[in-house]
């Protein structure tokens, strides 16, 4: 299995709703990522989990709350979002995070198909 899956494919929510995005991979990867992508822009990193621990939070507002229940799963909990949060949310995984020893030279990230989120 060389795939990253994401659910749902599309999500429409109001500003008072609470929803969650899910991401799953079965490639044995130990690093997982959330990105936000607006139209005609490159992906923008939000969070990095390495060995199931939050390693990077790119100053993301607290209305986005990531969770990594185990090494195969990554969730993004959404609460009180704004219309400007509407975007394509991409999950990615890579073979390894950074180890104390310095880790491998580089690992390609594989992206899921994304969740198209619309906030009304």
Query: Looking up tokens 């659910």, which residue turns up?
Result: 7
Residue 60 as a binder of another protein (CB under 8 A): the answer is no
Residue (17 or 107) nearer to another protein, CB: 107
Question: Which residues lie below 8 Å from residue 7, measured CB to CB, with a gap of 6+?
Answer: 21, 22, 115
As given in the structure block, the two tokens for residue 97 are: 């995070």
As given in the structure block, the two tokens for residue 111 are: 């992206």
**How many residues touch another protein (CB under 8 A)?**
28
Minimum CB separation from another protein for residue 6, in Å?
Answer: 9
Residue 71 as a binder of another protein (CB under 8 A): the answer is no
- Cα(17)–Cα(88) distance, integer angstroms: 18
Among 14, 77, 103, 120, binds another protein (CB under 8 A): 103
Peptide bond preceding 50: is omega within 30 degrees of 0, i.e. cis?
A: no
Where on the chain is the footprint of another protein (CB under 8 A)? 31, 33, 41-45, 48, 50, 55-56, 88, 90, 94, 96-98, 103, 105-114
């Amino acid at each position: 299995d060389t795939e990253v899956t994401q659910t749902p494919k599309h999500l429409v929510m109001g500003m008072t709703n609470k929803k969650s995005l899910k991401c799953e991979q079965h490639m044995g990867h130990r690093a997982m990522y959330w990105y936000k992508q607006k139209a005609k822009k490159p992906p923008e990193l939000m969070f990095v989990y390495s060995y199931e621990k939050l390693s990077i939070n790119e100053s993301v507002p607290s209305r986005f709350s990531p969770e990594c229940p185990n090494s195969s799963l990554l969730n993004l909990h959404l609460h009180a979002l704004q219309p400007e949060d509407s975007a394509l949310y991409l999950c990615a995984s890579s073979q390894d995070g950074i180890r104390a020893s310095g880790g491998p030279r580089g690992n390609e990230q594989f992206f899921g198909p994304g969740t198209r989120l619309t906030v009304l």
